[in-house]
Amino acid sequence: MIGSGGFSFPDGCIVIFDPQVEPMQGSFVLYGYEEEMTFKQYFSDLFQVTLKALNKNYSDLVLNKGNGTILATAVYAEVNLIQSHALLYGVYQQVVTKADYPPLKPT
């Protein structure tokens, strides 16, 4: 889930969920509704739940309370900095970097 600004979860990012953690306003959740599942940013008030998409290519979901379930709250995300994906001319190309360091000399 790539955001157009601010927070994002790049391809290959590992997200850990905990079903026992209650989400706060703005938490990222795995949410089930109408036999569907989505991963979005969670906001709620007395009457409705708003699931905000980080990627502007997807729409936000606004549901009446009770029309879905919080399956789990995201508690940790890990991004692999050695192996990542870069968007080049509209095609994802895997980029792997390896640094070659000179041998250490004893001091």
Using alpha carbons, select from 66, 62, 59 the residue that is nearest to residue 42.
Answer: 62
CA distance 97 to 2: 22
Higher pLDDT, 54 or 102: 54
| pLDDT tops 90 at residue 4 | no
Q: pTM, whole model, 2 decimals?
A: 0.67
CATH code linked to domain 19-73: 2.10.109.10
Domains of the chain, residue spans: 19-73
Residues 18-74: tens digit of each pLDDT: 999 999 999 999 998 888 888 999 999 999 999 999 888 889 999 988 888 999 999
Higher pLDDT, 11 or 51: 51
